[in-house]
Amino acid sequence: MASGFFALLDDVATLMDDVATMGKIAGKKTAGLLGDDLAVNAEKASGFMSKRELPVLWAITKGSLLNKLIILPIAFLLSAFVPSAITIILIIGGLYLAYEGAEKIYEFLVPHAHEKKSPLAKEMTEEEILAVEKEKVKAAIITDFILSVEIIIVALGTVTEEPIGVQIGVVSVIALLATVGVYGLVALIVRMDEFGLKLINLNEEDNSFSDKVGRILVAALPKVIKGLSIIGTIALLLVSGGIFAHYVPFIHHWEESIHMPTLLFEFVAGLVIGAVVLLVVLAGKKVWKLVKK
């Protein structure tokens, strides 16, 4: 009995060691997506009244946890019974990531007018403000669902050859990190300017040390969000290019035959394929408009 108990403990310890080892690998693979997730959610969680930022963020966080609870069992079932589906979903996800990265670059290089709407106008009633919040929370949770699918499938793709226990442990840790870690950082980012204002108002002295730090924090918020967006765009192309290089045979052969650093090849692959998908989408939109007329 005792020997069986200790054997069980040894199995559990081995499993946890495998989860920790593979978790590091999966963490590296999904780091870019987590960065993009952070950038997107920091942008979506900003723009609310100061006292409503944290409640709104908490509502999005709960929605994100529910998303993970829905996605994880489906991903594990596919991995157990239809493992080939994981590769297909990975490639489809890679196309979406490449498209998203290429679209961001296109919008930066070819600026076009966007209708700008203030999310919360001063003349709004409390009911109208809450309605706007509800819509923004709903949109944020939908976006989180898409990003969560990408993160979980990419993480699962790194451990498809491992036992199901390791798969569950690794991917669950990544999913939890994608929620708790990302939204924890988002909370710090969106409150950065508020903390800066408190430092500025800390004393009546002008140009004190707290004033200087406070002004830096207030000015840094939009720059931090923009910087995260740039990093996230690069990460999207790198992650998508990595997926193509590993799971699309002819691209993998190109990588082996072309003497180019791995990161550069993956970035170029993501950018080129993303540009192709973007052209197809833009052409499809034009055709759709002509058909509707």
Residue 47 lies in a domain: yes
| pLDDT mean over 17-44 | 53
Q: Place 273 in a pLDDT band, splitting at 50, 70 and 90.
A: very high
Residue 117 lies in a domain: yes
Higher pLDDT, 74 or 48: 74
- Please tell me the total count of domains within the chain: 1
Burial status of residue 120 (CB atoms within 10 A of its CB: 0-12, 13-18, 19 or more): middle
Residue 222 lies in a domain: yes
The mean pLDDT of the chain is 75
Residue 7 lies in a domain: no
Highest mean predicted confidence (pLDDT) among 35-44, 120-129, 131-140, 235-244: 235-244
| pLDDT mean over 56-63 | 84
Is the pLDDT assigned to residue 6 strictly greater than 60? no
Residue 6 lies in a domain: no
Residue 71 lies in a domain: yes
> What's the confidence (pLDDT) of residue 278?
94
Residue 1 lies in a domain: no
Alpha helices in the chain, H assignment, sequence order = 2-44, 50-81, 83-109, 126-157, 164-176, 182-190, 192-200, 209-247, 249-257, 262-292
Residue 53 lies in a domain: yes
47: left (phi over 0), alpha (psi -120 to 50) or beta: left
Specify the range with the lowest mean pLDDT, choosing from 115-124, 204-213, 248-257: 115-124
Report the distance separating Cα 22 and Cα 34, nearest Å.
17
Burial status of residue 202 (CB atoms within 10 A of its CB: 0-12, 13-18, 19 or more): middle
pLDDT digits (tens, 9 = 90+) for 166-219: 778 878 888 887 788 777 777 777 777 777 877 877 777 777 777 788 888 888
3-state secondary structure of 52: helix
Report the distance separating Cα 284 and Cα 138, nearest Å.
27
Q: Place 37 in a pLDDT band, splitting at 50, 70 and 90.
A: low
Q: Place 122 in a pLDDT band, splitting at 50, 70 and 90.
A: low
Higher pLDDT, 205 or 29: 205
Higher pLDDT, 271 or 47: 271
Range of the domain at 136: 13-292
